[in-house]
Structures are given as C-alpha cells and as structure tokens.
Structure 1
Amino acid sequence: MLTKLLLLLLGIAITLPPRIEGPHAELEKGPSTGLDDVYGPEPHAPPEKLPAEEIKPTIDTPRGFGKLLAATQILDGMLNNYDHRLRPGIGGKPTVVTVMLSVNTLGPISVPNMEYSIDITLCQTWYDERLRYNGSFESFVLNGDMVRQLWIPDTFFRNSKKIHNYGVTRLNHMVRIHKDGKVLYTDRMIIDARCSLYMLKFPMDSHSCPLSFSSFSYPENEIIYKWDDFKLDINDGVSWKLLQFDFTGVSNETKTISTVAGDFMVTTLFFNVSRRFGFNIFQSYVPSSVTTIISWISFWIKSDFAQARTSLGITSILTMTTLSSYSQKNFPRVSYMTALDFYIGVCFTFCICALLEFALLSFLIYHYTKSRTSPRVRHPATRACALTPLRARPYAHARARQQQDVVYEIEDSEDDSDEEEGPSCPAQRSLHPGRIQYPGSRCRLCKYMCMARDCKGGLWQQGRLFIHIYRLDNYSRVVFPVTFFFFNVVYWLVCLNF
C-alpha cells in the first residue's frame, strides 16, 4: 500500500513542471513575436504555403493542352500532304486572287527622276481546298515563318524600281487560314515606282502615277486578279509627302498584255495628283513680270543718256537669263517647251525689244543729225532754178533732166535755204507731189518714217503710216504694256482652262 502511494506522488511530481514552465516560456518570447496563432488551425499557415495557388491552374492544364494539341493536329494534318510548289486547283480552273490595297504614305514625287515613293499594305485573298479543316477554330493567324510552307502568288510590280520590305522587329508578313480554305496574305512594303510626267503644262500640270502588278510566271489561264471594293485608308493625312502636289483621286484598270511567255493579266492603280503652282508663281512668274516691267523704264529716260538706258536693258536681259536657268535647275531634261518656258521666253523677248527700241531710235536720230550737219550734195540744176526767171524755169528743169552726166557740188547747210523750205519727210512730199525730189533728200533712209521734228504730214498718206522717230518712245510706252497685258490674259485663260 505504501509503495502505491509513493508511485502516485512520483507521478504527480513528474507532471507538475511542464505546467509551470509554460507561462515562463510565453513571457520569454513576449507578445511582440505575434505567435498567438500557434494554437490556431492549420489553414492559417504562413504565406509560404501559397504555391498551392500557383499550382491551381494546372487543374485546367489538360483542357489547355487539349486546344493546343488540337490546333497542332489540324495544322499538321493540313500540311502533311501539302505541296507548296503547286497552285490551288492546278489542272482545272484558274486561281482567282482578290487584291485589296491600303496606302499608308504617298510621296514624295521626284520630278527630275520621274518616280514616286509609296508605302502600302498589300492584301491578297484566294481559296485553297487543301487547307480546309474541321474544328472549333474559325481561323488560324500565322506569322511569316509559315509563308514558306504555303503556296503564295508570285505577284510583282511591273513599274517598280526598288522595293523595301519592313523587317523590324520581324518581317511584316501575315497569313490567315479560314475553315473553308480561304487564305489571306498581307505584306507591307515601300515601293519606288516610275511615273512618266508630261510637263507640257508645267506648272499647271496634272499627272496619274501608276502602280501596276501581275503574276510573274502564271499566265491568265492560271491566275486571275480582281479588285475588291477598293478603299483608300488614310489614318493620318500629315504622313502624306506630296509637297508640291494635291491628291485628287484614284482609279484602276485591268488589262491583258501579250508577251513571249504568254498572256498575263495586269492590274494598274492610278494615283491622280495636280501641282500646286503657288511656289512657281512667287519664284518664276512674279520675278519675270517685274523684270519685264522694269525694262520699260528706259522709255522715260531721254535718248541722250545712252549709258543709263543700255545698262538697264542689258541688266534686264541678264536677269531673265538667270531666272530661266533657275527654273530649269530641278527639272527633267525634256525635249519640248513647257508653259513656264514659254512665259519666260516671252518676257525675255520683251526685254530684248526694249533694248532694240533704243538702238533703233539712236540709229535713226544719229543719221538724221548727221545729214543736217554734214555738207550737202546739190544738183547744179537747183541753183540754176533759183537764178532763172519764172518763165524760164520749166525750160531749165527740162535741160537738167536731159543731162546724162551728173555733176554735184558741196554746200554748207547754213546756206541751204531752199532745202529747209523743201519737203523734209515722206508725209510732206506726199502733200506736194509736184515738187522735184533731189538725190540728197534726208528721208531716203526711212521710207515710212518722218525724220523731222516738225513733221506736219497726215497719218495716212497714199496708204502708208508715217511714224515720227522722235515719238518712238511715246509709242513704246503704250504698245509694250498693252501687248504684255493682252498676252497675260490669253496665256492664263489657255493654261487654266485646257
């Protein structure tokens, strides 16, 4: 009995120390440790056990793998027995390729090189029965790597000079395959194409820059091109680089051309542009007109100032030559005259005529002055007429006309009173037809011009118009501006309406 009691006390002594150490352990750890949930449930475990949530999607992994495996099986099934070297429907009907075009940027147009640049996205659509499939996928969008495994039309641009393909960050190719076998192939490129510019109406000209394409190897009986509903998509008009041109519209045509390799269908797209001639107005037309008008200032300068009038005329001609050279600086070497060349040429002619007018005036005045100041050559019969009585003068004139040997004598102009009183120009001679015309007449140089300052002859004498040389500048002040004005009216009416 005593032994059982000792064993009971020993058991109690063993069990008491853990109950006493528990509170001390809690005090040592302190409340700052935040381990009050040690006795809590296991679901309140630390966040380190959250990877279970990361593994949670693996519950749907079989379904995702199912779609991926299904798509892979469809593509492998399509390409298993597919030969990309053969076109769809070979040996049967021709393949119809529908073309859609989106223009990203048009321009610039290089006039000297007669070419233009265009940034396009070319979309081609056709049907390939070998690519039909059954499944839940409506279409497959594939990158450019799949292009090598499919048949693609060998479309090329016939008037292209250089083509740049976008390669950042990958080549900009895209292929989309539909369930019914419809294939959409999209490619983006920059094309430098030829554009024959007919510059006859420059700078009021309009042009149609073509972009023609066709198949390189498949004739018309194997590939047929046709347009889809064409829409010119422009996201940002600022990206157009036409500079001197305005875009007026687009048109297209399809025709068949015959070559040694066969008959090919060629589709052409025309970009219609018209030139803005505001730049040429201020750079060519206005300077040419102003230079021509300035050359007319010489008509208001006295003929005595020959140096001033000559310098003004020559300067005007040199200025027109410089303007003509500048207008041809960035211009193609065409073999015909443009509207601008014709205008500058007429202005150049006006400047030359203004200088020639002064040269003619100086020439006539010089010879008239020389004839008045130089010694006179008189016929002896003239002096005889002055000394013979009135009744004997007819006989004296008759004897003078019968003489075969002509004898002249030199007299000064100061003693020549009869000559001053005689007719001094054709106009006055026509008023006195009975008077004798002497060999030394001062009007023998100009048949239609009055050489005297006090010419009083009528405007029309015997069907001839007599012009006073001292009034030549007065005539030029009216004739030159009026002629130039009517030329401008006719020029602009013709250029703007035709």
Structure 2
Amino acid sequence: MDINSINVEDMDFRMDMFLKQEWQDARIKIPEEMFEYGDDSVTLPSSFFDNMWQPDLYFLNSKVVEIATLTHKFSSVTLFKNKTIRYAARMHAIVACQMEFYHYPMDTQVCPITVESFSYNNNKMLLRWHGPGVTIIPELKLLQYNILPLILEETYAYTVEKNGNFSRLLVYFRFERQIGHHLIQTFAPSTLVVVLSWFSFWLELDAIPARVTLLVTCLLTLVTMFTGLRSDIPAVAYIKALDLWMAGCMISVFAALGEFVIVKVLHGKYNAMKAKEAKLAKDPAVMQWTAPSPKSVHNFRYKHMSKDRFIHLCWKTETGKEKIMWKEIDRIARMVFPSFFFCFSLMYWIILIFGSG
C-alpha cells in the first residue's frame, strides 16, 4: 500500500493499493484438465471474475475506488484445486477521514478504513485478516506526517440501512504531524517578534515615533502571520492550539503597546506637575502668602499637582533618591513581560506535548 497525499481541505487521503481477497466456494466445479501437470493453481483472466460468486466487499468511507488501468485492468483471478479463489487487483482509492485540529500543529489524525460486505450479513460471510493484513511500502515518506504503526480490527456492526449485523474489517491509519516545519515557520518567528517588542522598554519617551512604529509593526506582523497560517487548514468552529499561541503573542505585544500609552500619560502629568512647581517657585506673591516650609511644599507637590491624588507621579526613597513613576513602570516591564511570556510558553508546550499524546 502507498499513500500519495493527505488533503486537509477535503478531509481525505489518496492511496494506491494491491488488494487481495481469498475465499472458498464448495459449489464450484473444477475440471482436472484446467491445471497443468504438477500445478495446484491456475491464473484466469479477470473477466472470469464476473461469472462467479463474489464477496461484494466495499469501503464504507471511500469517496472513489477504481481499478488501475493502462491497456487493460490490472486484476487477476487465481483458482486453486481446493476450490480456493484469490482475486487480486491494483486499485486507487480516495478515503474520507474525519479530522480534528484541536492540537494543531501537533495533531495526530486517525483515519480508519472499514471493509464490509454489501449484501451478506455475518450469518453468511465472515471477514478475516490474512497474515499481517495490511503492509505499507517501507520507502513511503509523507511531507508533513509520520505514519504510526497500523491498528487492525475484526468486528461486527449492526447496519440500520441493511437491517442486520455485518462482519467488518478495520484498519486505522494514524498520521502524526511533523512539528519541525511549524517550529521554523511559525513558533520561532512569532517568538522573535514578541522579543523585538520588548526593546521598546529601553527606548526613552523622546523617541516616541520609533517606539510606536516598533510596537505597531510587531503587532501587524503577528496579525499577518496568523492570517496566513489559518489558510493552511480548513476553517473550524473551535479553537486550535496554534490559535492560543498566536493569541498569546499578540496579547503580549498589545500589552506592551498599552504600557507605552500609560507611560506616556504619566510622563505628561509629571511634566505638567514640574511646570506648575517651577511656576510656583518663581511667583513671589504665592511664596509670600504661603511662606511654605519644606514639608508643606512636599505635600503640595504630591497631593495637589496631580488631578488624581492616588497616582504618585514621583516619590523619594529612604535614601532621598527621587523615583519617577513612568520610569519605574518601564524598568519593571523589562522584567515582567519576559517573565510572563516565558511562563506562558512553558505552560503552553507542557500542555500541548502531553495533551496531544
């Protein structure tokens, strides 16, 4: 068996296979002269298959099944002296597969193929795998998937349409998506964009155009990347693992942009407070009327120069060093943002690896 392609858009996969069926039919009459001396079997033309009883097997979840042809159909019938009949054919098939993308891009798609008789229930026909049942050519390599070991089953199932129990053969193909492609194309670039957005915390507020351009460019890059990634798989109504990663990256960059807005507002209020303080110091009438002490000036600066008394635009430490709010926010952001993103990445990969397994 050879698998050509896996189509996630149509949720199916295409395969080429060499199909063999064997059964015994005690009703068949075999003339002795059909066999050459010393042979216990004879190969007959495929047209002979139309004149004998057939198991009428079919694939329940197939979209297209056809026998390969060149100048004629690649099929044959072998008849044995013990009245065993072997039918072999080279076939192409397109098989439907109900795919799920919850763990994309570390998803494993389980695609069963179900073989059943169309007319004969389990009282008349029992299906069994012979030997290994299904083998895949060792040279098979898929572009984005690894093929896990096959799982074969022999079971019975009640079919409502045919009103009876039918013998079934099942083979489960498990396609494990290779993560290497997405590590290079998705996770590494998006992580670098998030890290690049942290550089804005080291830019002073006198470089406002550079800081805004950096953050907005990072955000637009992630949005464009996310839009391109969504086109690789069909649109689904649920959230995928990749959606959570890209959302986390975009939230991180958007939070950095929000931090810049807060810092800019506090910087403006701080400058306004400084301007009013300088004006107060230069006004002799005010200075004569208030005759302020250092303590009263301190209270005036930090309680009345800001519209919101609960926002301390600056303060002094025990050593007498002045701390400015917007600068402290930038300094803390340099540590908090990388720490939060590292924790997010760690939890994301732990959940994704163990969850997909």
Change (3 A) 1:366 1:421: same
Partner AA of 1:420 in structure 2: V
Q: Give secondary structure in 2 for the equivalent of 1:204.
A: coil
Change (3 A) 1:207 1:246: same
Residue number among 202, 217, 230 corresponding to 1:300 in the alignment: 202
Partner AA of 1:206 in structure 2: T
Write out aligned runs for 1:1-12 (5 A): none
Write out aligned runs for 1:401-416 (5 A): none
Q: Does the aligned pair in 2 maintain the 1:133–1:180 contact within 8 Å?
A: no
Aligned counterparts of 2:205 and 2:145: Cα–Cα separation in 1:
49
Aligned counterparts of 2:148 and 2:123: Cα–Cα separation in 1:
35
Write out aligned runs for 1:239-318 (5 A): 240-253=140-153, 254-263=155-164, 264-318=166-220
- Larger relative contact order (C-alpha < 8 A, sep ≥ 6)? 2
Aligned counterparts of 1:133 and 1:146: Cα–Cα separation in 2:
13
Equivalent in the alignment of 2:305: 442
Q: Give secondary structure in 1 for the equivalent of 2:69.
A: coil
Change (3 A) 1:457 1:110: farther
Q: Does the aligned pair in 1 maintain the 2:114–2:171 contact within 8 Å?
A: yes
Partner AA of 2:338 in structure 1: P
Aligned counterparts of 2:181 and 2:339: Cα–Cα separation in 1:
27
Q: Give secondary structure in 1 for the equivalent of 2:231.
A: coil
Q: Does the aligned pair in 1 maintain the 2:108–2:177 contact within 8 Å?
A: yes
Aligned counterparts of 1:258 and 1:315: Cα–Cα separation in 2:
58
Change (3 A) 1:493 1:446: farther
Q: Give secondary structure in 2 for the equivalent of 1:305.
A: helix
Equivalent in the alignment of 2:266: 364
Aligned counterparts of 1:219 and 1:359: Cα–Cα separation in 2:
72
1:331 CA drift (Å): 0.8
1:116 CA drift (Å): 0.6
Equivalent in the alignment of 1:451: 313
Aligned counterparts of 2:102 and 2:324: Cα–Cα separation in 1:
40
Aligned counterparts of 1:467 and 1:373: Cα–Cα separation in 2:
15
Aligned counterparts of 2:318 and 2:248: Cα–Cα separation in 1:
35
Aligned counterparts of 1:221 and 1:315: Cα–Cα separation in 2:
69
- Normalising by structure 2, report the TM-score: 0.86
Change (3 A) 1:383 1:298: closer
Q: Give secondary structure in 1 for the equivalent of 2:221.
A: helix
Aligned counterparts of 2:170 and 2:216: Cα–Cα separation in 1:
52
Aligned counterparts of 2:132 and 2:308: Cα–Cα separation in 1:
76
Q: Give secondary structure in 2 for the equivalent of 1:203.
A: coil
1:124 CA drift (Å): 1.3
Q: Does the aligned pair in 2 maintain the 1:132–1:180 contact within 8 Å?
A: no
1:369 CA drift (Å): 2.3
Aligned counterparts of 1:236 and 1:331: Cα–Cα separation in 2:
28
Q: Give secondary structure in 2 for the equivalent of 1:191.
A: strand
Q: Does the aligned pair in 1 maintain the 2:273–2:301 contact within 8 Å?
A: no
Change (3 A) 1:156 1:291: same
Partner AA of 1:345 in structure 2: A
Equivalent in the alignment of 2:84: 182
1:470 CA drift (Å): 2.3
1:472 CA drift (Å): 0.9
Q: Give secondary structure in 2 for the equivalent of 1:106.
A: strand
Aligned counterparts of 1:222 and 1:157: Cα–Cα separation in 2:
19
Q: Give secondary structure in 1 for the equivalent of 2:30.
A: coil
Alignment of 1:223 onto 2:125: yes
Q: Does the aligned pair in 1 maintain the 2:269–2:313 contact within 8 Å?
A: no
Equivalent in the alignment of 1:479: 336
Residue number among 1, 6, 21 corresponding to 1:124 in the alignment: 21
Q: Does the aligned pair in 2 maintain the 1:106–1:119 contact within 8 Å?
A: yes
Partner AA of 1:471 in structure 2: E
Alignment of 1:114 onto 2:8: no
1:230 CA drift (Å): 1.9
Change (3 A) 1:260 1:197: closer
Aligned counterparts of 1:467 and 1:189: Cα–Cα separation in 2:
76
**Moved runs in structure 1, 4+ residues, more than 4 A?**
382-387, 415-419
Q: Does the aligned pair in 2 maintain the 1:257–1:265 contact within 8 Å?
A: no
Residue number among 299, 310, 334 corresponding to 1:422 in the alignment: 299
Change (3 A) 1:322 1:279: same
Q: Does the aligned pair in 2 maintain the 1:252–1:267 contact within 8 Å?
A: yes
Superposed CA offset, 1:236-268 (max 9, x none): 50xx35210011110122231331322233322
How many pairs were matched up?
Answer: 338
- Normalising by structure 1, report the TM-score: 0.63
Unpaired runs of 5+ residues, structure 2, are: 281-285
Partner AA of 2:205 in structure 1: S
1:160 CA drift (Å): 0.7
Aligned counterparts of 1:303 and 1:363: Cα–Cα separation in 2:
11
Q: Which has the larger radius of gyration?
A: 1
Partner AA of 2:80 in structure 1: H
Change (3 A) 1:129 1:185: same
Change (3 A) 1:154 1:113: same
Change (3 A) 1:326 1:335: same
Partner AA of 1:366 in structure 2: G
Superposed CA offset, 1:38-87 (max 9, x none): xxxxxxxxxxxxxxxxxxxxxxxxxxxxxxxxxxxxxxxxxxxxxxxxxx
Aligned counterparts of 2:55 and 2:287: Cα–Cα separation in 1:
108
Equivalent in the alignment of 2:283: none
Q: Does the aligned pair in 2 maintain the 1:112–1:331 contact within 8 Å?
A: yes
Q: Does the aligned pair in 2 maintain the 1:108–1:241 contact within 8 Å?
A: no
Equivalent in the alignment of 1:429: none
Aligned counterparts of 2:127 and 2:134: Cα–Cα separation in 1:
19
Aligned counterparts of 1:266 and 1:467: Cα–Cα separation in 2:
76
Equivalent in the alignment of 1:145: 47
